[in-house]
Structures are given as C-alpha cells and as structure tokens.
C-alpha cells in the first residue's frame, strides 16, 4: 500500500499539470499546516511570530489609543518603493506596534481623525515623536477642528510614536494664531521648531502660522543645524515683528551638530520674525 506522506507545495502544484492528484490524506495534512483567518495562534506560535518580527528592518509605529472605545483613527504611510498603507489606530490601553511597508524614509499623514464620545470641555490630545524627537502635538474635538488630512505629520526613518488620550480642561479651548517669518541670511541650512502647551510642529525652514491654544499663550523656539564642517559663528535673533523689539538672540555652535538649541520664549506675540546671520 502506498504510504501517505505530506508532500511539498511545489510537488502538489505539479500534480495538476501531470494529471496526478494528491490523496485526501495529503490534502488534510496540507490544510492542517495552514493558518486560516479565524484560527487562534497558540502561545508558542505567537512567540515564534514575534521573534520573526524582531528581525524586520522596516520602520514602525508604536502607539497607544486610550480615547473612547468606539474611537478609531487612521494614518497613511507612504514610501518610495511600495504601495500606500493605511493603518488603523484602534482603542487600546496598552502599547501596540505596527510595521510599515517598504523602506525608509516614510511620509506620514493623518486620516479620519473624527472625535467621538466627548463631554463638554473634553478634548482629545494627539501627541507624536519621530525617532525620539518631538513631531506634532494637537488638541481636537468639540469646538476645536479635527486634525486635517493635509497636515504632514513628518518623515520617519525608524520609529514613529503616537499617544491619543482624553483631557478635561473645565473650560472651552480656542485657537490662537502667531505668524512666524523665517529669514536665513546664511548658506547653512538652519531649521526651527515652535513648541507650546499641547501644540508643536516638526522642524522647518519655512514661514508658518501657528494654531496653538489659549491654555497658555507662550511658544518656545528651538533650532537645528549641522555645523560640523563650518567653523564660523552664526547668530539667530527673534523679533516682535509688530514693533521690531528683540525677544531673544542665541549663537549656534561651530564645528558640531546643533540639535534642539533653545532660541527663546515668545509670550503673547501675534507676529514674529526670526533672522539668522553670520557674526563678523
């Protein structure tokens, strides 16, 4: 009697070309070896699967969503060598990790950030970091607008971190707007970022208009520039553009990476100008 042994996938494929057919027992073993959508993984299988993931070099998102149970938010991930990917950030009170398609860099933008399950004076806080640096921070819900799908959340090389949670301010929160004009008179690429309470944007070299909050009307400015091959001196000044008063001046250090250099605090100003220039 012919012994029924499990046959490889490639051999099974050739049976249909030659007119031969796998036996019922062979098919049963093959089906048992597959994982179907509704199968529950054993603990051992979960450990093995996690170990396989650990070898991935793809970028990833690590997130927690402790908003209301019926709230789901999504982000869109784009890379140059793979299809666009939509990831759903479902409600979870623990950290969850999802991997990106393709290779870095990855561009991230929001999708479907609609607020549900909020009482009066409650808002959702969206907080994010890119590779351990601050990225985008926003409040949304109730009278505040949803996070726009055109908002660039940043470009990621490795890991992207998101926290979404609920806050009660016991008052209605409103947007405030400050215009930043950035003037770089040097040939050295310099970027700046602006941080306020529950509001921040990634580093940029462009002009911007904030939509920060009346929780506290102050903004901290930070600079980033690579001076590792530059041995001169550059000074960056912040002015109140309405009256040209100097708010703060700082020097960027030559022959090194300038990372998150504090540039000054802007309090209550609606029109700001930043100028960076060589120091003679």
Half-sphere exposure of 233 (CA within 13 A, CB side): 6
Nearest to 178 by CA among 220, 209, 136: 209
Q: What's the token pair of residue 196?
A: 């306020």
Nearest to 211 by CA among 160, 245, 173, 248: 173
Query: What is the per-residue pLDDT for 31?
Result: 66
65/239: higher pLDDT: 239
Instruction: Please say if the pLDDT value at position 1 is more than 60.
Output: no
Q: What's the token pair of residue 23?
A: 């036996």
SS (H, E, C) 186-241: CCCCEEEEEEECCEECCCECCCEECCEECCCCEEEEEEEEECCCCCCCEEEEEEEC
Around Cβ 216, how many Cβ atoms within 10 Å?
13
CA dist 245 and 259 (Å) reads 26
Q: Which residues contact 142 (CB under 8 A, 6 or more apart)?
A: 115, 118, 120, 121, 122, 123, 172
Q: Which residues contact 187 (CB under 8 A, 6 or more apart)?
A: none
Q: Give the model confidence (pLDDT) of 87-111 as tens digits.
A: 999 888 789 998 898 889 999 999 9
Look at 109-118, 140-149, 230-239, 271-280 and tell me which has the smallest mean pLDDT.
109-118
| Single pTM value for the model | 0.77
Query: What is the per-residue pLDDT for 69?
Result: 75
Going from N- to C-terminal start, the domains of the chain cover 58-168, 175-278
Q: Which residue matches tokens 């561009």? A: 107
Around Cβ 209, how many Cβ atoms within 10 Å?
9
What are the φ and ψ backbone dihedral angles of 254, each rounded to 5 degrees? -75, 160
Alpha helices for the chain (secondary structure H): 9-18, 24-33, 43-54
Look at 68-77, 137-146, 229-238 and tell me which has the smallest mean pLDDT.
68-77
Query: What is the per-residue pLDDT for 131?
Result: 77
Looking only at the bridges linking them, the beta strands covering 60-65 and 159-168 are parallel
Look at the alpha carbons of 149, 151, 152, 158 in this order and tell me if their dihedral is positive or negative. negative
Q: What's the token pair of residue 194?
A: 């602006």
Band of residue 51 on the pLDDT scale cut at 50, 70, 90: low
Q: What percent of the chain has pLDDT over 90?
A: 51
CA dist 14 and 74 (Å) reads 43
Q: Which residue matches tokens 């903004």? A: 219
């Amino acid at each position: 009697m012919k012994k029924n042994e499990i046959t490889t996938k490639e051999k099974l494929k050739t049976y249909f070309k030659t007119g031969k057919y796998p036996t019922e027992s062979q098919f049963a073993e093959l089906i048992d070896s597959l994982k179907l959508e509704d199968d529950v993984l054993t603990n051992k299988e979960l450990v093995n699967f996690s170990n396989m993931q650990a070898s991935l070099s793809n970028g990833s998102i690590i997130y927690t969503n402790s908003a209301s149970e019926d709230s789901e938010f999504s982000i869109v991930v784009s890379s140059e060598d793979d299809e666009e990917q939509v990831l759903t950030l479902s409600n979870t009170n623990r950290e969850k990790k999802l991997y990106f398609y393709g290779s870095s860099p990855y561009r991230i933008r929001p999708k479907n950030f609609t607020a549900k399950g909020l009482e009066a004076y409650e808002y959702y806080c969206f907080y994010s970091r890119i590779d351990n640096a601050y990225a985008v921070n926003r409040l949304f819900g109730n009278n505040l607008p949803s996070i726009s799908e055109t908002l660039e959340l940043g470009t990621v090389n490795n890991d992207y971190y998101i926290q979404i949670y609920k806050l009660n301010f016991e008052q209605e929160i409103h947007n405030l707007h400050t215009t930043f004009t950035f003037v770089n008179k040097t040939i050295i690429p310099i970027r700046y970022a602006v941080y306020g309470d529950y509001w921040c944007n990634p580093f940029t070299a462009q002009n911007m208009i904030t939509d920060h909050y009346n929780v506290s009307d102050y903004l901290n400015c930070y600079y980033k520039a690579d001076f590792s091959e530059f041995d001169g001196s550059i000074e960056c000044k912040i002015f109140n553009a309405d009256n040209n008063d100097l708010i703060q001046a700082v020097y960027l250090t030559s022959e090194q990476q300038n990372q998150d250099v504090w540039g000054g605090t802007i309090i209550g100003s609606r029109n700001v100008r930043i100028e960076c220039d060589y120091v003679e």
